[in-house]
Amino acid sequence: MCGILGVCLDITTSRSADDILRLKTDFADLLAAAEVRGTDAAGVYIVNKDSEIVYHKAPVAGSVLADDDTFWKMLDDFVSEKTVAIIGHTRFATHGDPADNDNNHPIFDTPIIGVHNGMIRNHERLNTRYRKAAEVDSAAIMSLLRVKSKNKPMTLSTLSNNLHQLEGPFAIAVADTRKPDGIFMARNTNPVKFFRERDAGLLWFASTSEILNDGIGAPVDKTFSMPADHCCRIDSKAVAGKLKYRSIKSSDPGSGLSAVATTPRIPREVRQYSTSTTAALTDAWTKPVKKKKSKKIKQAKVCSKCNEIINTVYMGGIEQDCCGCVSISDMISG
């Protein structure tokens, strides 16, 4: 169980300095609230139209990253009226040591960058065809999209025609550095909830309505779900208007997997901020004086039978407990 979260912006909406400050503070609060989905690592990436994509991640809880000087310096430097999206992730590690920061999210596989909640069970098999950039299973998603987008910017068809190759639950938010005027989202069984602030030109999302409520005060009854087995592209028009979904192609066991090797077009620059949570900063930055206190993290529950940590997996429309006694494959087949 991990958490994905973020906010997409209508860049045609005029924003004051106070509006930008409120946006950054709300995102930081949302990232801290999402640590209920995992505290092994946290990260964020920022998409700006006609500009570079930047990201920052570290093997710390969301509330720690949200109070980090480097995190705030990045927000101050890159969040503006031209910001298309700010995307975050909180990690509950399953495969790939969080101490190796390449395994934490966002995962960047030139020119694709993204975050993932779920588990890709066939990542090793996919790796033989689409070489992934990190040990973590989620990296198989980015390598698949990198190869399938070939030397052109990713489209909605890239997702809808290829995500069926992933075996296991997923919810993703990805971007392409070659066309940074929007992001792509997709999910099968793992949840995604939206909250729209139309007057402010903002579309928020998180793994659950409760995270949106705890982070930015979104009324639970005003949130809405992304449909299962669908994908969508979110740009300024979608934020101001309506989300348009496309169904993900059904899996065809007899089709096999393509092994086409391609050379991607040279992408825009992607800059990684320092992963040190104690990095010294020399430039001025505007961290708000008053910050919400992060919630106390509950200790993980351990199964009395198999002594494994009891995780929560979203399957069949409900969240289910999962440990060593119950495998995810059993849940899916059941």
Q: Are residues 325 and 231 in the same domain?
A: no
Helix (H, G, I), strand (E, B) or coil at 274: coil
Q: Answer yes or no: do 311 and 248 share one domain.
A: no
Q: Phi first, then psi: what are they for 89, rounded to 5°?
A: -155, 140
Q: Print the domain residue range for 309.
A: 299-334
Residue 278 lies in a domain: no
The reply to whether 73 and 161 lie within a common domain is yes
Domain boundary, last residue among 255, 272, 289: 272
pLDDT reported for residue 286: 47
Domain harbouring 83, CATH code: 3.60.20.10
Position 51 in a domain: yes
Is the pTM higher than 0.75?
yes
Q: What is the domain count for the chain?
A: 2
Specify whether the CB–CB gap between 120 and 140 falls below 8 A.
yes
Q: What is the mean pLDDT of each run of 10 residues along the chain (334 residues)?
A: 95 95 98 97 94 92 95 95 96 91 95 96 94 95 96 96 96 96 97 96 98 96 96 96 94 44 50 50 45 47 66 45 57 44
Residues 10 and 103 in one domain: yes
Whether residues 93 and 214 share a domain: the answer is: yes
- Residue 319's pLDDT is 43
145 Cβ contact list (under 8 Å, min separation 6): 112, 114, 154, 158, 159, 162, 174
Q: Which two tokens stand for residue 285?
A: 């930055």
pLDDT in tens, 8-40: 999 999 999 999 999 999 999 999 999 999 999
Q: What is the pLDDT of residue 16?
A: 95
Q: Are residues 89 and 126 in the same domain?
A: yes
pLDDT at site 277: 41
- Is 328 found in the same domain as 184? no
Same domain, 60 and 15: yes
What pLDDT sits at residue 252?
54
How high is the pLDDT of residue 301? 61
CB 231 within 8 A of CB 163: yes
Q: Which residue has the tokens 């930081």?
A: 28
Q: Are residues 307 and 158 in the same domain?
A: no
213 and 316: one domain? no
pLDDT of the residue at 222: 95
pLDDT at residue 268, rounded to an integer: 57
Q: In the prediction, which pLDDT does 255 show?
A: 40
Whether residues 97 and 193 share a domain: the answer is yes
DSSP alpha helix (H) spans, 151-290: 156-160, 209-216, 236-240
Instruction: Give a yes or no: residue 222 inside a domain.
Output: yes
Q: Is residue 279 part of a domain?
A: no
Does residue 162 share a domain with residue 237? yes
